Amino acid sequence: MRLYNTLTRQKEQFVPRAPGKVAMYICGPTVYNHIHIGNARTFLSFDVIRRYLRWSGFEVTYVQNITDVDDKIINRAREEGRSPAEVAAEYTEAFIAAMHALGIEDPDIRPRATAEIPAMVELIGCLIGSGHAYEVDGDVYFAVRSFEDYGKLSGRDIEQMQSGARVEIDPRKRDPLDFALWKAAKPGEPSWDSPWSQGRPGWHIECSAMSAKYLGNPFDIHAGGDDLVFPHHENEIAQSEACSHTTFANYWLHGGMLTIDREKMSKSEGNFLLLKDVLQHVRPQALRLLMLQTHYRSPFDYSAERLQEATVALERVEGAVRNLEWTIENAAVKLGGSASDDQSEKALTLINRIEATRKQFKSSMDDDFNTAGAVAAIFELVTIANSSITETLQSALLKDAVTVARQTIVELLAVLGVVVGSDEDRSEELPQELVTLAAEMAGYSGDKPAEAVETLLAVRREAREKKDWARADAVRDGLATLGFTIEDTAAGTRVVRKG
């Protein structure tokens, strides 16, 4: 497995610090607002990477923090006349709900900054003790020039930063580049005890302290959006390595930015989308599928048109999986080798394709998590599998091949977090009106749409056998009013959604 490391600016062989285990930290949200789809893309990308690592056999420990104390939260609370804790609690809950809506798994550990202050105070104490930080009037600053490697992640030169900096001049800082580790509280602000003042931590120190506490240093993968490379991640490295004298994180993975209709997302330009608003109009699985079709490090362009295409692609895959399931259930395998040569040949083609798909999926994902290549491999299998089932399955070999093809499609999509083909999904899609229809026409007394369909088809079959065409047609018409047509095939009868 090779992955691109921002620190070395190249793809590297992935070697975890302990064989078979991956310790991974991803910077979480500052909870002062609902997250936008740019954040959502970052979190989705690393959700997929985590799932793939696990599928590849690694035991993954995944930590994502919540920054629940910050200037932005305090400002928002002041604007709205409530406490920072209330604002943070509201948006923490909203964030977790949005992650669940998008099918993003909970982290193994979700530390909240306000519950981890002692670890931060300890780290700041270590930095002061070793001469990398200094206190002024209850504030503590990191002395950037005391850390030789400053700039190694972002590739910035400290002298250029200095000359190009639009850093506000704060006479209390020894150097304009120095950044705050601890801020003394103003009246009414949330604060905690420390040796320097009643105050609160700076943002950067939170991640240094929490990742070390839960994962140790060095840990394997530090991840986040590429807007965090500088200064956030650069500062995390400086703080952590200045104190521990060991590497902070071995691999740095950064997700690319998101544009909307090729424009940079910006509130002032009016093209700013919150995840929760997008999910009002679109299935989360379609949004996921769309995002997967761009490599996680590349810029991703969001548009309503592309989202529509992804929805169609998702429906095509779901339809194919349902067709495969139905064909398997309704196979009429002939024993004694009487199946046609044509079906045996199809079986061999399909078996070859399944193997090729698995290989292509794995080689794509092992190459810096190329999800676009992985999705393309699955789509190709969908096409070939679909074309293998134009008639009733009579060959045992073809039935087996179709069964494995279905399993493979469902399994590999699930590795990417796209769930298709479960029975629950199917019954959810069938409208409840089918139950009413079956109750009226066939005396059905249950409440499951899928069962209702079976009951209706049984009534129609019986009517046709008795040549009661009026009754048979009534079933057909009843289903048609709900948007379904009946298909009679060699293998039996089924109901499909029209158009």
Residue numbers at the binding site for Zn ion (CB under 5 A):
27, 207
Compare residues 231 and 417 and give the one whose CB is closer to Zn ion: 231
CA distance 480 to 487: 12
Compare residues 228 and 479 and give the one whose CB is closer to Zn ion: 228
Compare residues 209 and 398 and give the one whose CB is closer to Zn ion: 209
Tokens at 116, concatenated? 């981890």
Compare residues 239 and 285 and give the one whose CB is closer to Zn ion: 239
CB of 65 to Zn ion, least distance (A): 7
Asked whether the beta carbons of 65 and 112 are under 8 A apart, the reply is: yes
CB of 182 to Zn ion, least distance (A): 17
Compare residues 209 and 438 and give the one whose CB is closer to Zn ion: 209
Integer-rounded Cα Rg, in Å, for the chain is: 29
CB of 458 to Zn ion, least distance (A): 60
How distant, in Å, are the alpha carbons of 178, 183, 218, 236, 239 from that of 231? Answer: 11, 18, 20, 9, 12
CB of 102 to Zn ion, least distance (A): 21
Count the Cβ atoms, other than its own, within 10 Å of residue 64. 24
CB of 240 to Zn ion, least distance (A): 11
CB of 495 to Zn ion, least distance (A): 52
How distant, in Å, are the alpha carbons of 11, 229, 376, 471 from that of 248? Answer: 19, 14, 36, 74
Compare residues 27 and 253 and give the one whose CB is closer to Zn ion: 27
Name residues whose C-beta falls within 8 Å of residue 289's C-beta, 6 or more positions apart in sequence: 310, 313, 314, 375, 418
Q: Which ranges of 390-448 would DSSP assign to H, the alpha helix?
A: 396-415, 423-429, 433-442
Asked whether the beta carbons of 110 and 29 are under 8 A apart, the reply is: no
Compare residues 184 and 207 and give the one whose CB is closer to Zn ion: 207
CB of 59 to Zn ion, least distance (A): 23
Asked whether the beta carbons of 233 and 26 are under 8 A apart, the reply is: no
Q: Which ranges of 28-116 would DSSP assign to H, the alpha helix?
A: 37-55, 71-80, 84-101
Name residues whose C-beta falls within 8 Å of residue 381's C-beta, 6 or more positions apart in sequence: 353, 354, 357, 405, 408, 409
CB of 418 to Zn ion, least distance (A): 28
Compare residues 116 and 301 and give the one whose CB is closer to Zn ion: 116
Name residues whose C-beta falls within 8 Å of residue 47's C-beta, 6 or more positions apart in sequence: 103, 104, 105, 417
